[in-house]
């Protein structure tokens, strides 16, 4: 098999794969932030709904979540008469965003709760508002704790993007199957080997980016921890 022909064909589908990944990453982060806020603050009914959402995202297989998004979204938007808006790509972005948000919430929440209780009390005693306390004291420490788990969640997301072929999205995996069918499945090993290298490269890039943030966050976390020390020194 001529790799010089097959590899460009696979790479032609890479922008769509990256677009789905990036959209799910950003939208999932926003969903996780909202869900985590409600789960930490324990607002009646809303917090229970957030718990239910996280349980759904973590318990239901990702491929099934994609099918729910693919078949459920047309029903939802059909009420407004915009069925044509739905496409496999949109459904893939929605399904993976919901999955990633629920999974990531289980990274954010323990990280927030892992911040020493004394840091909360010290910031409150210094007169910080909740937003001020979150930005200057809690977030730097929680982010440092959460980054390793966040890196894992991004890698899992990249892996699961390969499942969008099952709802008809023309990502790298779907393109690879079209290439193999065109060649009468003669070069399956070579094609899957190229895919393995490609997904490994994407995961490596993601890990290196998160790792760089992880190293930088250490100094911000250490600068945020003296909140209780500052209070004790002022006494």
The verdict on residue 2 lying in a domain is no
**Residue 5: inside a domain, yes or no?**
no
Q: What is the mean pLDDT of residues 125-137?
A: 81
* Number of domains composing the chain: 1
- Output the CA torsion sign for 15, 19, 20, 25: positive
Q: Is 60 helix (H, G, I), strand (E, B) or coil?
A: coil
Among 219, 108, 100, CA closest to 158: 100
pLDDT confidence bin for 84, thresholds 50/70/90: low
10 located within any domain: no
* DSSP structure string for 139-195: HHHHHHHHHHHHHHHHHHHHHHHGGGGGGT---HHHHHHHHHHHTTTS-HHHHHHHH
Classify residue 3: in a domain, yes or no: no
Tokens (6 digits) for 57:
């995202």
**Domain harbouring 186, CATH code:** 1.10.3720.10
Q: Looking at the domain assignment, is residue 11 inside a domain?
A: no
Domain around 69 = 19-234
pLDDT bucket at 125, cuts 50 / 70 / 90: confident
**Is residue 204 domain-resident?**
yes
- Asked, for residue 9, whether it belongs to a domain, the answer is no
Q: What is the pLDDT of residue 144?
A: 87
């Amino acid at each position: 098999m001529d790799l010089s022909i097959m590899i460009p064909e696979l790479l032609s589908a890479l922008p769509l794969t990256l677009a789905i990944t990036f959209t799910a990453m950003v939208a999932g982060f926003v969903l996780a932030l909202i869900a985590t806020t409600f789960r930490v603050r324990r607002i009646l009914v809303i917090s229970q709904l957030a718990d239910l959402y996280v349980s759904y995202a973590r318990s239901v297989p990702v491929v099934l979540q994609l099918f729910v998004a693919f078949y459920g979204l047309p029903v939802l938007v059909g009420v407004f008469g915009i069925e044509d808006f739905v496409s496999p790509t949109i459904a893939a972005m929605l399904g993976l965003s919901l999955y990633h948000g629920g999974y990531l919430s289980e990274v954010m929440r323990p990280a927030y709760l892992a911040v020493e209780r004394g840091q909360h009390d010290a910031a409150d005693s210094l007169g910080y508002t909740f937003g001020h306390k979150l930005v200057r004291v809690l977030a730097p420490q929680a982010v440092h704790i959460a980054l390793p788990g966040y890196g894992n969640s991004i890698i899992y997301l990249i892996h699961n993007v390969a499942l969008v072929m099952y709802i008809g999205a023309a990502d790298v995996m779907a393109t690879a199957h079209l290439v193999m069918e065109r060649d009468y499945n003669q070069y399956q090993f070579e094609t899957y080997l190229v895919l393995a290298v490609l997904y490994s490269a994407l995961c490596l890039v993601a890990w290196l980016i998160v790792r760089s943030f992880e190293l930088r966050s250490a100094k911000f976390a250490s600068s945020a921890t003296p909140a209780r020390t500052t209070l004790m020194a002022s006494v």
